[in-house]
């Protein structure tokens, strides 16, 4: 009898298949009449919002994938479903770090799902207050995920926090100041440091520089680009801004009315967009 050959581990860190999220009646009746060809994500039959449907992608370690679309296109919904901030209506989400990618993490119970946020998936949100406790010091915020996975040694925790803060270029003499006293750009840098504290294999970035002044945003983008290159993390970058997508990602999905209308290499898509909606987004970005 031949020995079974073990399955090779997946090459991706995150794989999403057939992801869907409907707000309202989740039955198939809500799908008809929605999507780009109908110009709406709202079901004429049930009034449900088909915020995302049939979304497929995977991301390899060291790779960054962009999701672009205008407000309401469904990109943040995809990110929230992957992050576990909300539960997808349909589809599979697999992480190489969880049972070698064989488990649909959508099926995990809420506490198991929350645990993944400690060392498997991290998220950076547009609003630093969504990822940080503003009343706690920068060092304290970074200590949080470390203690949650069992770090106990105060000296080691401080050392790790200091190392991360210096990497994101937050002056170490601000380590014990409450994050509320920080500027917007510095808050975002602390949020990034916290997200990377436990070396997660997957990092989700939702409009990481939206709302920052242009020069501050440019600095944070530079930082992110360096971190993505050096950490080997698999990143998903959600943005309405092709400048951000161009700077950070290799591949991109374009979403409109809850559906992916085009996907490809970021450079090629910017050079030669095929779908009329992508053409419109590129033309707007090129001003």
Footprint of ligand ATP (CB under 6 A): 23, 41, 49, 51, 69, 71-77, 240
With 0-12 / 13-18 / 19 or more C-beta atoms within 10 angstroms meaning exposed / middle / buried, residue 219 is middle
Shortest gap between Cβ of 222 and ligand ATP (angstroms)? 23
Judged by DSSP in three states, 15 sits in: strand
Identity of the residue, 19 or 116, whose beta carbon is nearer to ligand ATP in the bound complex = 19
DSSP letters, 55-92, are EEEEE-TT-EEEEE--TTSSHHHHHHHHHTSS--SEEE
Identity of the residue, 23 or 151, whose beta carbon is nearer to ligand ATP in the bound complex = 23
Shortest gap between Cβ of 255 and ligand ATP (angstroms)? 7
Cα distance between residue 202 and residue 82, in whole Å:
10
**153 contacts 188 by C-beta, under 8 angstroms:** no
Cα distance between residue 23 and residue 39, in whole Å:
17
Identity of the residue, 72 or 184, whose beta carbon is nearer to ligand ATP in the bound complex = 72
Tokens of 285: 């970005």
Shortest gap between Cβ of 223 and ligand ATP (angstroms)? 22
DSSP label at residue 152: -
Residue whose C-beta lies closest to ligand ATP: 76
Identity of the residue, 41 or 217, whose beta carbon is nearer to ligand ATP in the bound complex = 41
Shortest gap between Cβ of 277 and ligand ATP (angstroms)? 13
Q: Which value, to the nearest 10 degrees, does the dihedral of the CA atoms of residues 223, 190, 205, 109 take?
A: 150
Identity of the residue, 13 or 49, whose beta carbon is nearer to ligand ATP in the bound complex = 49
Shortest gap between Cβ of 55 and ligand ATP (angstroms)? 11
Tokens of 261: 């209308």
Shortest gap between Cβ of 192 and ligand ATP (angstroms)? 20
Identity of the residue, 47 or 276, whose beta carbon is nearer to ligand ATP in the bound complex = 47
The residues, ordered by sequence, that sit 6+ positions from 39 with a Cβ below 8 Å of its Cβ are 257
């Amino acid at each position: 009898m031949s020995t079974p050959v073990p399955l090779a581990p997946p090459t991706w860190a995150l794989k999403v298949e057939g992801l869907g999220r409907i707000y309202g009646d989740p039955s198939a009746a809500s799908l008809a009449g929605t999507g780009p060809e109908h110009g709406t994500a709202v079901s004429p039959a049930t009034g449900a919002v088909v915020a995302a449907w049939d979304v497929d992608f995977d991301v390899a370690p060291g790779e960054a994938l962009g999701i672009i679309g205008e407000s309401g296109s469904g990109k943040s919904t995809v990110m929230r479903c992957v992050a576990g901030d909300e539960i997808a209506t349909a589809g599979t989400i697999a992480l190489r770090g969880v049972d070698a990618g064989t488990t649909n993490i959508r099926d995990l119970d809420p506490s198991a799902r929350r645990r993944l946020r400690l060392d498997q998936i991290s998220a950076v949100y547009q609003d630093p207050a969504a990822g940080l406790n503003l009343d706690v010091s920068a060092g304290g915020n970074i200590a949080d995920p470390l203690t949650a996975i069992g770090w106990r040694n105060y000296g080691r925790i401080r050392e790790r926090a200091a190392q991360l803060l210096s990497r994101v270029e937050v002056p170490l003499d601000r380590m014990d100041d409450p994050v509320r006293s920080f500027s917007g750009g510095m808050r975002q840098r602390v949020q990034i440091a916290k997200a990377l504290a436990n070396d997660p294999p997957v990092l989700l970035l939702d409009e990481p520089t939206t709302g920052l002044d242009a020069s501050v945003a440019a600095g944070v983008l530079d930082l992110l680009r360096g971190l993505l290159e050096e950490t080997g993390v698999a990143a998903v970058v959600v943005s309405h801004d092709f400048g951000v997508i161009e700077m950070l990602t290799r591949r991109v999905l374009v979403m409109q009315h809850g559906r992916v209308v085009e996907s490809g290499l970021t450079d090629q898509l910017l050079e030669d967009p095929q779908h009329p909606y992508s053409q419109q987004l590129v033309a707007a970005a090129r001003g």
